[in-house]
Amino acid sequence: SIEEELKDSGPVVTSAPKKRLTFCVEGNISVGKTTFLQRIANETLELRDLVEVVPEPVGKWQDVGPDHFNILDAFYAEPHRYAYTFQNYVFVTRIMQEKESSSGLKPLRLMERSVYSDRMVFVRAVHEAKWMTEMELNIYDSWFDPVVSSLPGLIPDGFIYLRASPDTCHQRMKLRKRAEEGGVSLEYLRDLHEKHESWLFPFQSGNHGVLTVSSPTLAAENSLHPDIRERVFYLEGDH
């Protein structure tokens, strides 16, 4: 009988591929996301075979189309004019990147930022600063959810939040001297910090320098997949 045959041939082995995990690394401008990811990609040999690192497509934002338009620079120079166009392009480049990277075979994928921080941090901040009009926000929202839910690869398994004070980020930003960010104020960094906090860190923590796992209740409006609401890891980084 088929049962006997199966018993004789040992345990049944299914060849279904294991699910790859995706974590997004979040945090304020200059907090050290790129450094964190580069260390994992380059310095930790054991991890290299396990982890695919997907950097943020900043290069694409600095070089758009045949005229090599720098839309990151244009946004900081004329935020009213370019906030919507820039956030729209940020989203498009993440989708392009998702299509390029989704064939990877490594079991863990670490991505620098996500469409969620675009929406929860930057789009909120530029709207509150009145750089994005009500109408532009409505247009952004009208396509955001439908497009995200049609691309399951954009929905991560969790977040790693690199957390530092706005002052620390400001100092690191000045040291780094990215040409476009000359006009980024401490006030704007404080604003972005608050948005990260209310999105990813609703509880105050006395722990420093440790990886803590918590279960924050994320804002209902944040269109985050319910399964990942309880999977946020924090790294404190003010030193």
CB nearer ligand DCP, residue 6 or residue 96: 96
Q: Where are the alpha helices (DSSP H) in 49-159?
A: 58-61, 71-77, 79-101, 115-117, 124-128, 134-150
CB of 193 to ligand DCP, least distance (A): 12
CB nearer ligand DCP, residue 107 or residue 137: 137
Show the tokens assigned to 188: 């704007």
CA distances from 109 to 22, 58, 160 (A): 5, 19, 12
Strands 51-54 and 21-26: unpaired
CB of 42 to ligand DCP, least distance (A): 14
Active site annotation includes 112: yes
Q: Which of 26, 56, 112, 136 is catalytic?
A: 112
CB of 86 to ligand DCP, least distance (A): 6
Quick one: residue 190, left, alpha or beta (phi over 0 = left, psi -120 to 50 = alpha)? alpha
CB nearer ligand DCP, residue 183 or residue 206: 183
Task: Give residues in contact with ligand DCP (CB under 6 A).
Answer: 27, 29-34, 56, 58, 72, 87, 90, 113, 118, 122, 181
Which residues carry out catalysis? 112
